[in-house]
Amino acid sequence: MRKWIQLVILLLFFIVPYTDLFRIDIPSGHYYWFTRRLSFSQAMPLLLTVLWLVFLVLGLTFFKPRLFCSHFCPHNTMSQVLRTIRRWKLDLPLAILLTPPVAFTLLAYFVDPRTAWQAITEGRSTIILAFFIALCLFIGFLLLKLRHQFCRNTCPYGYFQQLFRPERTTRLGKVITASLLVLLAIATAVSVRFTSGVEIDLGTIARIHAGTRMIYTYELRLVNNRSEQERVTVTFQKLKPFNHPEEQQIVLQPGEEKQVPFSFQVEKTEEVLLDVCAENEDRCKQFQFSLSGV
């Protein structure tokens, strides 16, 4: 049973970032949660997922020491395989063979795999290439030389586990740990469910003094993170902009981003009330603010 779990976890390690099940795309400021693309500004699901993973890894120690190491850690699985085939002198060729794909997969958890591939093969990004080389050196050293020595001498999780022993963990402690894990998983799923797939942000571009009037220019930024087309309706309820219709429907293709600029002229203080509604998601965001005159 243990070997099957190790195999599944190892396969998942290689599959997860390429199928967008979970990965963080640092250059684009987005992350993927079970194929849903979300922005860093919608951080709650990401924070809860990271918290759940940390809690899971630490919580497993309450049930059995080294349970994570023996069943789930990909480094341990690879080191065990290399140790087994050492008798046939196959460990070094396999370690050399494994180093680039492991390094690239680790990189793919933080950079879009297509972007990372082009950066490395076509030299499009020196930073990504440098990270890949550094990862290759680190993983190569781990697989070729350190293997289980890393667990004994370096891994912080190895030290952490020495603090917890099964005799110190009561049944109540295990029940509380398991309950918290379930609650965190539910909270994460709920937060993803209620996180909008359409990003709606409003920014100020300019504020110009023009005789007896003030001209304010704004930019509405819309991003469709969904895998379907989205229609967004922009409606000005109070003060109307002079260069934009009172109501406009904007179509966003999957993954598309649009900037919508508009300006107001005011002589005295006026109120702006702007409704931005994503039709398919059935969600609205309202912006309300006042503009002062000269």
Binding site for ligand SF4 (CB under 6 A): 68-69, 73, 75-76, 150-151, 155, 157-158
Coil vs helix vs strand at 180: helix
Give min distance, CB of 76 to ligand SF4, in A. 4
Give min distance, CB of 27 to ligand SF4, in A. 28
Give min distance, CB of 150 to ligand SF4, in A. 6
Per this entry, what is the length of the chain?
A: 294
Give min distance, CB of 255 to ligand SF4, in A. 36
**Residue 222: how many CB atoms within 10 A of its CB?**
20
Signed CA dihedral, 182, 56, 41, 196: sign only: negative
Q: 160 vs 289, which CB is nearer to ligand SF4? A: 160
Distance of CA 135 to the CA centre of its chain: 20
CB 99 within 8 A of CB 133: no
Q: Please, how many CA atoms are within 13 Å of residue 248, restricted to the half-sphere of its CB?
A: 15
Which of the 8 DSSP states describes residue 194?
T
Q: 75 vs 226, which CB is nearer to ligand SF4? A: 75
Give min distance, CB of 157 to ligand SF4, in A. 4
Per-residue 3-state assignment (H helix, E strand, C coil) for 94-136: HHHHHHHHHHHHHHHCCCCHHHHHHHHHCCCCHHHHHHHHHHH
Give min distance, CB of 145 to ligand SF4, in A. 14
What does the block give as tokens for 68?
């994570």
Q: 35 vs 154, which CB is nearer to ligand SF4? A: 154
Q: 117 vs 164, which CB is nearer to ligand SF4? A: 164
Q: 67 vs 266, which CB is nearer to ligand SF4? A: 67
The CA radius of gyration of the chain, in Å to the nearest whole number, is 26
Signed CA dihedral, 10, 16, 21, 22: sign only: positive
Give min distance, CB of 196 to ligand SF4, in A. 36
d(CA 18, CA 113): 7
β-pairing, 230-236 vs 270-278, is antiparallel
Q: 30 vs 75, which CB is nearer to ligand SF4? A: 75
Q: 6 vs 225, which CB is nearer to ligand SF4? A: 6
